[in-house]
Amino acid sequence: MNALLLSAVMGVVMMFSSFLLKMKVAQRNVAIGGMLAILLVNVLEGWWGVHFFSFNTKGLLYFDHFSLFFTTIVFGCTFLFFLLSAKDMENVGVSYAEYFALVFFILCGISLVSSFRSLLLLFLGIEIISIPLYILTGSDKRNLKGNEASLKYFLMGAFSTGLMLMGITLLYGASGTFHTVGMLTEPGKEQPLAMAGLMLLMFSMSFKVSAAPFHFWTPDVYDGAPTVFTSFMATIVKAAGFMAFIRLFYDAFYLVQSWWQLIAAVMVALTLLIGNITAVFQQSVKRMLAYSSIAQAGFMMIAVMALNESAFEGLMLYAAAYCMATIGLFAVLVKMKDQSFEGFNGLAKEQPVLAAACAVFLMSLAGIPLTAGFLAKFYMLKAAVETGRYLWLVILAVLMAAVSVYYYFRVIQAMYFKEGTGLLIGFASPAYKWILSILAVLIILLGIFPNLLLNWFYF
Amino acid sequence: MIAVLLIWIPVISGLACFFLPKGNAARLFALFSSVVILLVSVLGLTVFNDPVYLQKKYEWLPVLGSTFFVKLDGIGQVLTLLTAVAFPIIFVSTWNHEYKNASRFFALMLLTQAGLMGVFVAMDALLFYFFWELALIPAYFLCSIWGGERRIPVTFKFFIYTFIGSLLMLVAIIYIYNGTSVKSFDISAFYSVVFSSNTQGWLFWLFFVAFAIKMPVFPFHTWQPDTYEQSPTAVTMVLSGLMVKMGLYGLIRWLLPVVPVGVNNWAVSVSFLAVIGIVYASLIALKQNDLKRLVAYSSIAHMGLMVLAVFSNKEAGMQGAVMQMFNHGINIIGLWIVVELIEQQFGTRKMSELGGIAQKAPALAILFVVVALANIALPLTNGFVGEFLMFNGIFTSGAYDGMYTLFGRWQFNTSSLSLIFTVLAGVGIILSAVYMLNAIQKVLYGDTVQRTAMTTDIKGNEKMILGVIVCIILFLGVYPQPLLDLPKEAIESVLKEADISHLLKK
């Protein structure tokens, strides 16, 4: 509850600071300070039960341990994102402080969407996340690609929200309530109304997390948006989307798994296939990362399909590993002069620290042991095997993981084995290098001792 | 304790090596570190040869049921001894090679050694998988940075090919883990799990593909000749001398005892693949002009024979295979040293461009001939002992018996398959004699060509290293018993785990 309210307050604070504080540095510091405060109050609520505000939500919101833990991970990653990329946001456009305000509002939506117990609040949370995102996508007003991306995102997003509302209505008709916990309980009885509502909800949530075959907006939107905001969208918003997804399906549809599990498995397979195979053919690193985020979403969706204990632990570890690695990668990408694969040539000689950190991030995304990404994928595979049913999916997933090695390692090859001058726009400050190195070390630490993260889940 | 040290010393010295200044310091440091590891390994064999010292179990991932469990039993000791002996030999033999960024090169070599050691001592499936992959990463960087002209695509193919195999093995590991009663990755839990015959069948293939790509076994061998050719010679020595043994070791430790029914069902198919590999690789080796590719294909043939022996389900065969792992490691490294010396001096590896070296370089000639004869498995060399035992196992094996149905229609009663396999493998040996002696003939004897007119004989340290290898070859050829006694108990226990005769109908 703390973070929910504080993030909304911070959004308003940033809006005011856009004209009250003249210096961009001051605005940035207020934003970073506010982010740290949000993170702290969330941790305080999660582990020490300190509520700064609380009011009776009449059962519509419930901040259980899972939701607070997950939002802590998400807020931690946002804090890292601010530390690394806040300065680069200045280059996007004139309304610097407003961008921070929009991000804070998105965080408010994330907080809602991680703790909902009513379908209405799910809808509200998703909309609160999406609308600022439409604005952020088009925030570079002079860029035609950005305008196109923003409009595309808005239209398709509105359409999918319409689908979600339809699904919610049908489910209300079938069950008589908006309350998600234990909404559908009888798998035996055929309920076309409930099934239709469930499917519509699944499709609209899949749109939000860019699972196939609802992923078509992702490459254009991620490519057209300013790289800093792509970084935010591809990681934190996606993780929040999965939080909502797994929360919804576990609370409401766990007992009727037999209705939708096969469809979910097929969607996972499609996502993995499409995401990985198209990523192989990309020539721009930014677009490659967009498609790779689809592929990673495929892996995360395995958790939604499986809905067992490994799935929950795995999703948290995966969200943490994926967010950290991708934020780090985008933080380097945004500083590159040439954003194609050739632009990375010879980076290892020019900027050894950046190249080494990038290598760790890429290996984590590919799933090489010793990195958090490997253990995250491992948990996902474990969750899938434990369902006892979808072995073909497990084998497909590992084959696709092998495919993903190809396009992730292309960047490593360009950095280390090819000759060139990896030029940066501007320069990489020592603080920036330190944070990247800490991020890389964290990923390796989590890769050897995932207990560091997972024990807090059981705390 | 010993097992833990064998892993941690190369890790720490490898990481430290990254920070050494350029120049000869890295070379010396790496050699020193590898000698220390050799000492630790020898201590583990002699003074501290007690289970208390040889194993260690740490808590690692209790939530997953995985522990850091390392143990040195007989088979592990043979292989860690091979790794410990091989690295100093490799470093000394490539002493005069100039590498740019030498400190990074030696650091990556030491990290590879750590990964190899870890594979051979890990007794926990997840730990085994970790080290399996970790041995691969430094090798990828080594080949890609210091290799030949086509190194980048060739190494990439090698990496992805091996990675696919490892991922399939990961699926099998997770599946077996899911089937254990106490949800643990421990090797004893894996040995005690029981699956149906069908399940064991495809679990077998998931594991076997990973090991087959590593060794390599036909038809998964296409990455090997290019990779061996393009990588720097020191790395080729590690790849062919040590890494391929990872695959065979995996067969013995993680395949035979874990899915014995699957092994029983598929032994014949796999043996066919192995035999085809022996003959096919030997035939291709006959046509090779490049010495490096010749040795690469010869290695495929040798590994094929070892796979055949492992699936023979006979103690003699297994003993031969384990001993031959050590022998092949030593012999092939010897061969690579000779190839390297020839390439360094004459700038070419093509046999057609060489000739008559023996006239001016008698020491090189003698040592080359002895190593080549060991490769052919001439009696008095260590290769002969291993091969004789393996042939004994294959010929007397009962693992190939039974009624087999081909394509659902034709039925075979295969009581004579062991004879067929023995004969075909024997053909492989004869072919190996042909191509090795052919190579010797072309390179060492005959008329000198312009390139070899000013040959100088090999220097002191090169002579010494080859001399050490020749001594090992001859010593083990005459007195192999210590190396046979070492893994005896471990082999017996593996065969006992893999024994399903109580399940078969009489």
Let me know: does B431 contact B286? Beta carbons within 8 Å: yes
Are B130 and A401 inside 8 Å of each other by CB?
A: no
B144 CB neighbours in chain A (<8 A) are 413, 416-417
Indicate the SS3 state at residue B301.
Answer: helix
Omega into B153 within 30° of 0, i.e. cis?
Answer: no
Are A313 and B144 inside 8 Å of each other by CB?
A: no
DSSP A326-395: HHHHHHHHTTBSS-BGGGGTTHHHH-HHHHHHHHHHHHHHHT-TTSHHHHHHHHHHHHHHHTSS-HHHHH
Let me know: does A313 contact A342? Beta carbons within 8 Å: no
Q: What is the mean pLDDT of residues A39-48?
A: 87
* Residue with tokens 């929040």, as numbered in its chain: A240
Let me know: does A228 contact A89? Beta carbons within 8 Å: yes
Q: What is the mean pLDDT of residues B45-68?
A: 80
B168 CB neighbours in chain A (<8 A) are 395, 398
Closest CA to A271 of A211, A214, A217: A211
* Alpha-carbon radius of gyration of chain B: 22
pLDDT at residue B414, as a whole number: 65
Span B476-492, pLDDT tens digits: 999 999 889 888 888 99
Q: Is the pLDDT of residue B453 over 80?
A: no
* DSSP 8-state code for residue A237: I
Band of residue B253 on the pLDDT scale cut at 50, 70, 90: very high
Kindly state the tokens that stand for B398: 């009962």
B129 CB neighbours in chain A (<8 A) are 369
Which residues does residue A284 pair with via DSSP β-bridges, in sequence order? A340
Are B171 and A413 inside 8 Å of each other by CB?
A: no
pLDDT at residue B406, as a whole number: 66
* Burial (CB count within 10 angstroms: exposed 0-12, middle 13-18, buried 19+), residue A392: exposed
B151 CB neighbours in chain A (<8 A) are 417
B164 CB neighbours in chain A (<8 A) are 398-399, 402
pLDDT at residue B128, as a whole number: 93
Span B342-358, pLDDT tens digits: 888 888 888 888 888 88
Task: For chain A, give the percent of residues with pLDDT over 90.
Answer: 61
- A398: closest chain B residue by CA: B167
Is the CB of A417 inside 8 Å of chain B's CB atoms? Answer: yes
pLDDT at residue A207, as a whole number: 93
DSSP B165-207: HHHHHHHHHHHHHHHSTT---BHHHHHH----HHHHHHHHHHH
- Number of Cβ within 10 Å of residue B289's Cβ equals 13
Q: Which of A405, A452, A455 to mutate to probe the B interface, most B CBs <10 Å?
A: A405
Are B133 and A416 inside 8 Å of each other by CB?
A: no
B137 CB neighbours in chain A (<8 A) are 363, 368
Q: What is the mean pLDDT of residues B322-341?
A: 93
Specify the amino acid at residue B286: L
Closest CA to A99 of A27, A4, A42, A26: A27
**Close Cβ partners of B115 (under 8 Å, ≥ 6 residues apart):** B131, B132, B134, B135, B136, B137, B138
Are B152 and A450 inside 8 Å of each other by CB?
A: no
B175 CB neighbours in chain A (<8 A) are 385, 391, 394
Q: In what helix (H) or strand (E) does residue B314 lie, and over which residues does it extend?
A: none
Is the CB of A445 inside 8 Å of chain B's CB atoms? Answer: no
* Closest Cα in chain A, distance from residue B404 (Å): 28
Cα separation, B431 vs B286, whole angstroms: 8
| pTM confidence score | 0.90
pLDDT at residue A407, as a whole number: 92
Cα separation, A366 vs A377, whole angstroms: 9
Is the CB of A444 inside 8 Å of chain B's CB atoms? Answer: no
Closest CA to B299 of B250, B236, B210: B236
Closest CA to B162 of B36, B247, B280, B92: B247
pLDDT at residue B417, as a whole number: 81
Are A369 and B164 inside 8 Å of each other by CB?
A: no
* Closest Cα in chain A, distance from residue B335 (Å): 29
Is the CB of A398 inside 8 Å of chain B's CB atoms? Answer: yes
Let me know: does A346 contact A420? Beta carbons within 8 Å: yes
* Closest Cα in chain A, distance from residue B317 (Å): 34
Is the CB of A385 inside 8 Å of chain B's CB atoms? Answer: yes
**A179 Rama class: left (phi>0) / alpha (psi -120 to 50) / beta:** beta
b/e sequence A85-98, b meaning 16+ C-beta within 10 Å: bbbbbeebbeebbb
A401 CB neighbours in chain B (<8 A) are 167
A405 CB neighbours in chain B (<8 A) are 159-160, 163
Span A263-288, pLDDT tens digits: 999 999 999 999 999 999 998 899 99
Among partner residues B62, B134, B145, which is closest to A416 by beta-carbon distance?
Answer: B145
Cα separation, A210 vs A341, whole angstroms: 24
* Residue with tokens 């209405």, as numbered in its chain: A120
Is the CB of B208 inside 8 Å of chain A's CB atoms? Answer: no
* Closest Cα in chain B, distance from residue A379 (Å): 9
Cα separation, A128 vs A109, whole angstroms: 5
Among partner residues B133, B171, B177, which is closest to A395 by beta-carbon distance?
Answer: B171
Q: Is the pLDDT of residue B462 over 60?
A: yes
Cα separation, B430 vs B441, whole angstroms: 16
Band of residue A52 on the pLDDT scale cut at 50, 70, 90: confident
pLDDT at residue B506, as a whole number: 53
3-class SS shares of chain A: helix, strand, coil, % to 5: 75, 0, 20
Are A381 and B177 inside 8 Å of each other by CB?
A: no
Q: Is the pLDDT of residue A459 over 60?
A: no
- A392: closest chain B residue by CA: B171
Are B152 and A416 inside 8 Å of each other by CB?
A: no
Which residues does residue B17 pair with via DSSP β-bridges, in sequence order? none
- Maximum CA pair distance of chain B? 70
Is the CB of B471 inside 8 Å of chain A's CB atoms? Answer: no
Task: For chain B, give the percent of residues with pLDDT over 90.
Answer: 49
Cα separation, A26 vs A24, whole angstroms: 5
Are B134 and A398 inside 8 Å of each other by CB?
A: no
Q: Which of A364, A381, A408, A415 to mutate to probe the B interface, most B CBs <10 Å?
A: A381
Among partner residues A382, A409, A418, which is closest to B174 by beta-carbon distance?
Answer: A382
Let me know: does B256 contact B264? Beta carbons within 8 Å: no
Helices marked H in A88-225: 96-113, 119-137, 144-175, 192-208, 217-224
pLDDT at residue B93, as a whole number: 86
Taking one residue from A and the other from B, the number of pairs with CB-CB distance under 8 angstroms is 69
Q: What is the mean pLDDT of residues B454-467?
A: 83
A378 CB neighbours in chain B (<8 A) are 170, 174
pLDDT at residue A237, as a whole number: 92
Indicate the SS3 state at residue A111.
Answer: helix
Span B194-232, pLDDT tens digits: 888 888 998 999 999 999 999 899 899 999 999 998 998
> What are the residue boundaries of the structural domains of chain A, listed by start?
1-250, 256-459
pLDDT at residue B504, as a whole number: 67
B103 CB neighbours in chain A (<8 A) are none
Closest CA to B335 of B289, B288, B373, B300: B373
Cα separation, A361 vs A358, whole angstroms: 5
Angstrom CA distances, B104 to B141, B278, B331, stand at: 10, 37, 28
* Residue with tokens 């990329």, as numbered in its chain: A85
Q: Which of A317, A378, A410 to mutate to probe the B interface, most B CBs <10 Å?
A: A378
Indicate the SS3 state at residue B493.
Answer: helix
Is the CB of A446 inside 8 Å of chain B's CB atoms? Answer: no
Is the CB of B159 inside 8 Å of chain A's CB atoms? Answer: yes
- What integer best gives the mean pLDDT of chain A? 90
